[in-house]
Copies of this chain bind each other. A is one copy, B any other.
Amino acid sequence: MNQHYRETRVRVRYAETDQMGVVYHANYLVWMEIGRTEYGKSDGFFYRELEKEGIVITVVEASVRYAQAARYDDEVLIRTRVAEASSRMITFAYELLAGERKLATGTTKHLFCALSEDKRELRPSRLPEKYRGYFGIS
């Protein structure tokens, strides 16, 4: 399995802080999603293209361990790797850092699903073969 982390960065937005003076915890899931969105791009994989084919990647599990708080205007490094993957599911692992400070680690587990025409129904599917290489899926 691919143990290689790929990296992207976000700048903490004022909107992401809360009255405790730090980033609201739910935003870490948003950053993790940015990490997996960017994951395949360096190889030319764009999630928006996959969605146009009617395949979506749904989240079935998410977990975060919070270490240190992120603050307004911090630059956050999002490190993303594929922890486990098959043609039916994929699990990403993440590390979030601000400079030397570790902010959090997390994982998200996903199913590949086919979206019905009216976008109302989803059923488990498989990642089309042409995309599997991006995630080290044989």
Residues of A near any B CB (own CB < 8 A): 11, 13-15, 17-22, 24-27, 29-30, 33-34, 37, 46-48, 51, 56, 58-66, 69, 71-73, 115, 117, 119-120, 122
Which chain B residue shows the least CB distance to A27? Answer: B26
Q: A19-B14, A62-B63 are in contact. Are A69 and B122 (CB under 8 A)?
A: yes
Q: How far is the CA of A24 from the CA of B13 in the complex (A)?
A: 11
Q: A37-B73, A63-B62 are in contact. Are A21 and B19 (CB under 8 A)?
A: yes
Residues of chain B with a CB closer than 8 A to A64's CB: 61-63
Of the candidates A21, A47, A66, the one having the most CB atoms from chain B within 10 angstroms of its own CB is A21
User: Can you list 10 contacts pairing A with B, beta carbon distance less than 8 Å?
Assistant: A13-B30, A13-B34, A19-B20, A19-B72, A25-B62, A26-B33, A60-B66, A61-B65, A62-B64, A119-B119
